[in-house]
């Protein structure tokens, strides 16, 4: 009798045999949720246009589900000039009124007006710090914070989101409460909250192996009154 040998499966086939474990909120979710979890959430973002987009979408989510916002994401990009901050900052009352009739976005006057207000405040941060990216990441010392929380132990807000929320509000931003801002920090990878059982949770090195912070946070610079 011929000797039977076990054939090794290609790596791609083995991956299909063993489904990846994900954060609880992405399990049994639709394709948009899975793509968002796998390709965006928790990954560091340094592009100002993308940062403005996520700040807008997180504010728009207030009182709604994230799945609703993901479904309307293309509509938001069209309605808000692909999140070109300068163009959104110039939206006048007539343009904002037209957006209230646009079913492709959340038709909430306060949220629409806040997007325009936030665009103007965003430009102010860019003028002061050179980029919103530099301002934002200074609050985390310039590096992502990998928390690797246990399933069910992801916080809704932290001291970091409290500090950023307070500073944004002082600069005229709206819909920037600490809970909204913590979701924003997760979305743009300033904090990485993929849970310990998720395949995207980064490995945490021992404290002795971690490098010291390279530079202190950049503090707001106020012009003389």
**pLDDT of res. 204:** 60
Burial of 46 (0-12, 13-18, 19+ CB in 10 A): middle
Give residue-wise pLDDT tens across range 126-180: 999 999 999 999 999 999 999 989 988 899 999 999 999 999 999 999 999 999 9
Give residue-wise pLDDT tens across range 173-218: 999 999 999 999 999 999 999 999 999 998 765 444 344 444 444 4
Asked if residue 221 has pLDDT above 50, the reply is no
Instruction: Say if 157 falls within a structural domain.
Output: yes
Instruction: Say if 14 falls within a structural domain.
Output: no
Q: Mark whether 58 is an active-site residue.
A: yes
Instruction: Say if 115 falls within a structural domain.
Output: yes
Catalytic annotation, pick one of 33, 66, 76, 135: 66
Catalytic annotation, pick one of 33, 41, 53, 58: 58
Contacts of 77 (CB under 8 A, 6+ apart): 53, 83
| 25-32 contacts at long range (C-beta below 8 A, 24 or more positions apart) | 29/67, 30/67, 32/67, 32/70, 32/71
Question: How many structural domains does the chain have?
Answer: 1
Asked if residue 59 has pLDDT above 70, the reply is yes
Place of tokens 């819909």: 175
Instruction: Say if 169 falls within a structural domain.
Output: yes
Instruction: Say if 111 falls within a structural domain.
Output: yes
**Mean pLDDT, residues 67-95:** 97
Instruction: Say if 24 falls within a structural domain.
Output: no
Q: Mark whether 128 is an active-site residue.
A: no
Catalytic annotation, pick one of 33, 36, 76, 137: 36
The residue range of the domain holding 66 is 46-203
Q: Mark whether 66 is an active-site residue.
A: yes
Instruction: Check which CATH number belongs to the domain holding 117 and give it.
Output: 1.10.340.30
Instruction: Say if 168 falls within a structural domain.
Output: yes
Q: What is the largest CA-CA distance in the chain?
A: 93
Q: What predicted TM-score, i.e. pTM, was given to this entire model?
A: 0.82
Instruction: Say if 191 falls within a structural domain.
Output: yes
**pLDDT of res. 130:** 98
Task: Report how far residue 154's alpha carbon sits from residue 123's, in angstroms, rounded to the nearest whole number.
Answer: 32
Q: Which residue has the higher pLDDT, 221 or 41?
A: 41
């Amino acid at each position: 009798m011929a000797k039977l040998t076990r054939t090794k499966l290609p790596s791609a086939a083995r991956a299909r045999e063993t489904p990846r474990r994900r954060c609880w909120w992405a399990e049994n979710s639709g394709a948009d949720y899975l793509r968002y979890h796998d390709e965006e959430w928790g990954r560091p973002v340094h592009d100002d246009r993308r940062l403005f987009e996520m700040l807008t979408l997180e504010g728009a989510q207030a009182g709604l589900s994230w799945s609703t916002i993901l479904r309307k994401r293309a509509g938001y990009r069209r309605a808000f000039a692909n999140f070109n901050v300068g163009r959104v900052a110039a939206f006048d009352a007539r343009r904002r009124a037209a957006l209230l009739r646009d079913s492709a976005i959340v038709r909430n006057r306060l949220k629409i007006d806040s997007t325009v207000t936030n665009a103007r405040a965003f430009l102010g941060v860019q003028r002061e710090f050179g980029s919103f990216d530099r301002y934002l990441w200074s609050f985390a010392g310039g590096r992502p914070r990998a928390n690797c929380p246990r399933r069910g132990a992801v916080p809704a807000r932290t001291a970091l989101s409290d500090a950023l929320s307070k500073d944004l509000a002082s600069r005229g931003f709206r819909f920037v409460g600490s809970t909204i801002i913590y979701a924003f920090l997760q979305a743009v990878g300033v904090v990485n909250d993929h849970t310990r059982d998720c395949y995207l949770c980064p490995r945490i090195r021992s404290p002795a192996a971690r490098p010291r912070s390279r530079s202190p946070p950049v503090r707001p610079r106020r012009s003389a009154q």
